[in-house]
Structure 1
Amino acid sequence: MSVKIGNIDLGEFPLLLAPMEDVSDPPFRFVCKQSGVDMMYTEFISSEGLIRDAAKSRQKLDIFEYERPIGIQIFGSEISTMQEATEIATLAKPDLIDINYGCPVKQVACKGAGSALLQDIDKMVKMTEAVVKATHLPVTVKTRLGWDDNTKNVDEVAERLQDIGIQALTIHGRTRSQMYKGEADWRMIRDIKRNPRIKIPVFGNGDVDSPQKALDWRREFEVDGIMIGRAAIGYPWIFREIAHFFKTGEKLAGPTVAERVSVCRTHLDKSIAWKGPKVGIFEMRRHYANYFKGLPDFKNYRMLLVKEDNIEIIHAILDEVADKYHHLLLEGEMA
């Protein structure tokens, strides 16, 4: 049976790319799409920023045909602002609008947005209803288990938000107070999936970082799909590895160093094309360590890459990396 959000068909068990601030921009989404991700989201966009016409927020609305299906994710603390931001985001023609009720970082939650809404479910319901009414697109929600261990209320959230028209729910298996610490607990996600009232797709998020874990948790927690965030940073191959493992039960060999260099280079080129050379080169610096994780004695190359702002020299350094490490084939050999 296919998983559907509105009339978007995501196949039997979709793998989704999490919206990550300063990570899931179009260049990163491009390399994830090449690795077979089924559905992606923009970085979360401030509703205030959209309404003020802030350049950074506007730029995050950029989506491309090859990325579909793609959702634009928005967050905010005021219902009227969220409504207006929804109208603006709808004009960018995504496939759906996603609301962030999960972001735990202080500058979002302390302003009453993101996971802060878990402390005021009535307001969350009103805000979601306003967003649903402001667009013809399907609306989905990403949230957490609750604000802290004493207020794990995502079961109530799931029922009430489904009742006012959201068409899918992604749950990160931690509370807001946990931030990203400790282990994600997916048991409540399974309880929601088993609730006979819940008819919309429910996706699990948090700590899936290997094909084996993806399969085990798919079976154990009965979710409709898995959303992956941090494990895809510098390793977009995780999507194809999980999909292959689901189909065959076999582990796909990890990317060769040549492939790592090639995808890193694509990411860099896309970054420059989208942001311009100065910002494109600068913002790519946070990704090098992740692309070449596990390579022995890589530190010097990383230092060279993060200091360099001449694109020809960066490409030459990447050539040298490909050349020096070409004999290292598999992740296992790097360990």
Structure 2
Amino acid sequence: MVTIGNIQLPDFPLLLAPMEDVSDPPFRAVCKANGADLMYTEFISSEGLIRDAAKSVQKLDIFEYERPIGIQLFGSDVETMGECARIASRVEPDLIDINYGCPVKNVACRGAGAALLQDVPKMVRMTESVVKATHLPVTVKTRLGWDDNTKNIGEVAERLQDIGIKALTVHGRTRVQMYKGDADWTLIGKIKENPRITIPIFGNGDIDSPEKALLYKNRYGVDGVMIGRASIGYPWIFNEIKYFLRTGQQLTPPTIADRVTVCRQHLDFSIRWKGEIVGLFEMRRHYANYFKGLPDFKPYRMRLVTSDSYNEVSAILNEIQETYSIIYEVAA
């Protein structure tokens, strides 16, 4: 069993990464139903939350079935981050997570996210401010360092543990790498080998198959893995990894009917949460991922992303299921 403060997780838990414009409540719902053990909100701007910006406040929406659930915060001001942690704690998540890993320009260039890897003393002060501001466990997600010359994650892990974080997730790339190249988990493994480190260490980056999850578990000794991009349109990956770790065998891939069913569940939640107009619009980014690999799917995708009617989208999904189920039955 893996413990984060008072949160108890199964052995080798699978975490859903916080992803901007992706890991909202509808997406988290289908991932939870398919095996995610711990999930996080999209990252929330501390400055936006302080000024009560509607987009930031809405990201505080969490639901009982999601637990354990963490709220992830980012910002560049030490005092503001502490106040933001107090605000976020009022909605009673299970933990508060700090984003020191986001590499995108409009975050890092404002001194937030991965930019803090260039100023470890400030990162320590900010983390301490958040720890003192909440009664909840505080965790951190970060990267190996800013660039190849400043891979300081070993120092970061020790210093953040010393001021009270309860778990650390490390993405195996530097900020300069963004999401290019292969993730390097070597330094993540070295953190686990450090006798000073007693908190759970989770690895993140390029986990896109059950085989790789098992390989990295054995090779680097991490306490669990965080999965991001591989879960988009494919929430089944969590249960597939669990089954493979338990049995050494592959689960049967989702059928066309499975894909349509989960896509529809995602759509229905999106509409319940944000209303039909916004719910339909925000689902458009997901259709191609749910039906990735289907031959000649482009005409269906174009119809899905241009429809502004739930009934019409539902009818298209029914048509997709009927058409591709026949194709795959014939192929079989």
- Where on the TM-score scale, by shorter chain, does this alignment land: which range? over 0.9
Aligned-partner Cα distance in 2 for 1:327–1:307: 25
Q: CA deviation at 1:7?
A: 1.3
Q: CA deviation at 1:136?
A: 0.3
Give percent identity, aligned residues only: 72
Aligned position for 2:19: 20
Letter in 2 for 1:101: Y
Aligned position for 2:7: 8
Q: How does 1:31-46 map to 2 (within 5 A)?
A: 31-46=30-45
Aligned position for 1:218: 217
Letter in 1 for 2:319: E
Secondary structure at 2:174 match in 1 = coil
Aligned-partner Cα distance in 2 for 1:322–1:255: 12
TM-score when scaled to structure 2? 0.99
Q: Deviations over 1:24-48 (max 9, x none)?
A: 0000000000101100000000000
Secondary structure at 1:204 match in 2 = strand
TM-score when scaled to structure 1? 0.98
Secondary structure at 1:226 match in 2 = strand
Aligned position for 1:139: 138
Matched, 1:54 2:53: yes
Aligned position for 2:306: 307
Q: CA deviation at 1:140?
A: 0.1
Q: How does 1:246-325 map to 2 (within 5 A)?
A: 246-325=245-324
Q: How does 1:169-188 map to 2 (within 5 A)?
A: 169-188=168-187
Aligned-partner Cα distance in 1 for 2:85–2:296: 48
Instruction: Could you list the structure 1 runs, at least 4 aligned residues long, displaced by more than 2 angstroms after superposition.
Output: 327-330
Q: How does 1:18-167 map to 2 (within 5 A)?
A: 18-167=17-166
Q: CA deviation at 1:327?
A: 3.7
Q: Deviations over 1:140-197 (max 9, x none)?
A: 0000000000000000000000000000000000000000000000000000000000
Q: Deviations over 1:58-97 (max 9, x none)?
A: 0000000000000000000000110110000000100000
Letter in 1 for 2:239: R
Aligned-partner Cα distance in 1 for 2:208–2:13: 16
Distance change in 2, residues 1:305/1:24 (3 Å): same
> What are the ranges of 5 or more consecutive residues in structure 2 without an aligned counterpart?
none
Aligned-partner Cα distance in 1 for 2:5–2:79: 25
Aligned-partner Cα distance in 2 for 1:142–1:36: 21
Is the contact between residue 255 and residue 329 of structure 1 (CA under 8 Å) also seen in structure 2? no
Secondary structure at 2:149 match in 1 = helix
Letter in 1 for 2:66: E
Is the contact between residue 202 and residue 225 of structure 1 (CA under 8 Å) also seen in structure 2? yes
Matched, 1:191 2:200: no
Aligned-partner Cα distance in 2 for 1:16–1:5: 13
Aligned-partner Cα distance in 2 for 1:11–1:34: 16
Q: CA deviation at 1:231?
A: 0.1
Q: Deviations over 1:192-249 (max 9, x none)?
A: 0000000000000000000001101110011000000000000000000000000100
Aligned-partner Cα distance in 1 for 2:109–2:274: 30
Aligned-partner Cα distance in 2 for 1:190–1:311: 47
Secondary structure at 1:175 match in 2 = coil
Is the contact between residue 71 and residue 98 of structure 1 (CA under 8 Å) also seen in structure 2? yes
Secondary structure at 1:123 match in 2 = helix
Aligned-partner Cα distance in 1 for 2:309–2:6: 46
Q: CA deviation at 1:323?
A: 0.3
Aligned-partner Cα distance in 1 for 2:23–2:35: 15
Secondary structure at 1:235 match in 2 = coil
Is the contact between residue 257 and residue 328 of structure 1 (CA under 8 Å) also seen in structure 2? no
